[in-house]
Structure 1
Amino acid sequence: MPTTPRSRPTILVVLHQETSSPGRVGHMLLEAGFELDIRRPPLGDGLPETLEGHAGAVVFGGPMSANDGDEFVRRETAWLDIPLKENRPFLGICLGAQMLVNHLGGKVEGHDEGLVEIGWYPLKATEAGKKLMHWPEMVYQFHREGFSLPKEATLLATAETYPNQAFRYGDNAWGIQFHGELTRAMMQRWVVHGAQRFELPGAQPGRDHLGGRLIWDMHLKRWLGEFLQLIFGKASR
């Protein structure tokens, strides 16, 4: 895919559905002075052979599993070698974090008792996480699989059902299991389209998703802004 000259530093944004949005992550990166280069590999978009023209990358979630045999899943997981080797700022969210774990030789799998995290759940920062920043006490989750901690990665936050919630690998690679990017409109869509999953063991009913947002989302949003600045900084004007 040919690239066009951009006036501001650009973040590569990888989405996995036609209707997916980078949500608040996108809003915050734009406010920080970055432009967004949005690619959707499941729809045939290619990924750059180098990130020399980008200030970093964010790989978002999706309904598929990081263990799926789809060609784009294998290609995207292998592509993660580029930000790692080039030491570019990288953030994987949910599926993106699980792809990173698979790339690093870890495991992505469901809970032994079939439990899921779909709704609002407590989060606890590790000592390493506390040294970096203040973390929210509750976060929004929407997943049926978790991941092991990759070798040489540093665990930053943990939870009861799926212990590995956030990690750092090397200087610039980060993975989080939970979602801070949802706007209210996005959460409403997820609640409507994902309603069948609320019957799974451990999931919360849809009313609790929106009700919890009124209580905890302000803290999650504040954390997200600080976290993105920690990873990507601000674009020079």
Structure 2
Amino acid sequence: MHVHLLQHSPHLGPARIGDWLDSMGHSHTVFHLDQGELPPRPGEGDALIVLDAPEDVPPADWARGERKLIERTLDGHKPLLGIGHGAKQIAEALGATISRGTLAETGWQTVTLAEASPFDLPERFEAFTWHREIFGLPEDALPLGGSAASPLQGFAWDAGRVVGLLCHLEATAESVTAMLDHLPRPAGDAESPHGQDREAMLDDPKRFDRLAPLLDRLLTQWLRTAPA
């Protein structure tokens, strides 16, 4: 299987996703939209992943082409996964509302799985977060679950073929360090009780190790929806 990934910042890359795809025998191509690369055509590739982007960034030249590709993929039969910005774009394309949350959420947060959640994940787990904006649950979608600051940390639509994640299961110590070094923190992070400082985010490397099996379970479940 060949997976296409859309990247919007040199500091918000695939992180552990690329290694997972390689280990499972899947090939992949990263399209660096922030560097002027055009997104792939809708009929190309076997699955699409739309990565995160910095919040509060004005619409860029790539925004229209990306939105069209998302809409065409929603209308098709190929797996579609969005993380952060990608999840918000998918949710909006499905008619959900995007809004600024009451509080920013950064660092490690406990996510509790929703009763109706279709995700193959533990009932409670830690995930990395970096956002202020949130989205509503699209019609006919099932919720992943939520944290104290964000009741909806993700959703699945069309029997799990389409997945949106607000949290970051793909995070590594290296990817988080890049975010901390180069990206502005989400608006209101300094005042939020759900914001962590750099030391708290990076002090326990085992937290990143514990994300790996969660990402594996989620991506495996997601790619099972690909047409035979």
Match of 1:14 in 2: 6
- What are the superposed Cα offsets for residues 2-33 of structure 1, whole Å, 9 maximum, x if unpaired? xxxxxxx2100110024542110110011111
Alignment check: 8 A CA contact 1:155 1:167 kept: yes
- Unaligned runs of 5+ residues in structure 1 are 1-8
- Unaligned runs of 5+ residues in structure 2 are none
Question: How big is the shift at 1:232?
Answer: 1.5
Q: 1:195 to 1:206 in 2, by over 3 A?
A: farther
Match of 1:127 in 2: 115
Match of 2:146 in 1: 158
- Indicate yes or no: 2:87 matched with 1:97: yes
- Indicate yes or no: 2:137 matched with 1:149: yes
Question: How big is the shift at 1:105?
Answer: 1.4
Pick which of 103-112 and 88-97 moved more. 103-112
What is the identity percentage for the equivalent residue pairs of Structure 1 and Structure 2? 22
Distance 1:16 1:223 in 2: 24
- What are the superposed Cα offsets for residues 148-203 of structure 1, whole Å, 9 maximum, x if unpaired? 11111111221221111110011310001011222221222222334755524231
Match of 1:5 in 2: none
Match of 1:186 in 2: 175
Alignment check: 8 A CA contact 1:166 1:175 kept: yes
Which has more helix, going by share of residues? 1
Q: 1:129 to 1:10 in 2, by over 3 A?
A: same
Q: 1:89 to 1:234 in 2, by over 3 A?
A: closer
**SS of residue matched to 2:192:** coil
| 1:39-54 correspondence runs (5 A) | 39-51=31-43, 53-54=44-45
Distance 1:106 1:170 in 2: 15
- What are the superposed Cα offsets for residues 43-99 of structure 1, whole Å, 9 maximum, x if unpaired? 222223323x42211111010458x43342233123211221112111100110001
Match of 2:214 in 1: 223
Distance 2:6 2:150 in 1: 24
**SS of residue matched to 1:192:** helix
Aligned partner letter, 1:175? G
Ranges of 4+ aligned residues in structure 1 off by more than 6 Å: none
Pick which of 155-164 and 42-51 moved more. 42-51
Match of 1:110 in 2: 100
Match of 1:4 in 2: none
Kindly report the root-mean-square deviation, in angstroms, between the aligned alpha carbons of the 2 structures.
2.4
Distance 1:77 1:174 in 2: 16
Q: 1:159 to 1:47 in 2, by over 3 A?
A: same
**SS of residue matched to 2:18:** helix
**SS of residue matched to 1:138:** strand
Q: 1:42 to 1:190 in 2, by over 3 A?
A: closer
Match of 1:75 among 59, 65, 71: 65
Q: 1:130 to 1:177 in 2, by over 3 A?
A: same
Pick which of 101-110 and 13-22 moved more. 13-22
Match of 2:198 in 1: 206
Distance 2:123 2:60 in 1: 35
**SS of residue matched to 2:107:** strand
Q: 1:154 to 1:184 in 2, by over 3 A?
A: same
Match of 2:52 in 1: 61
Distance 2:222 2:56 in 1: 25
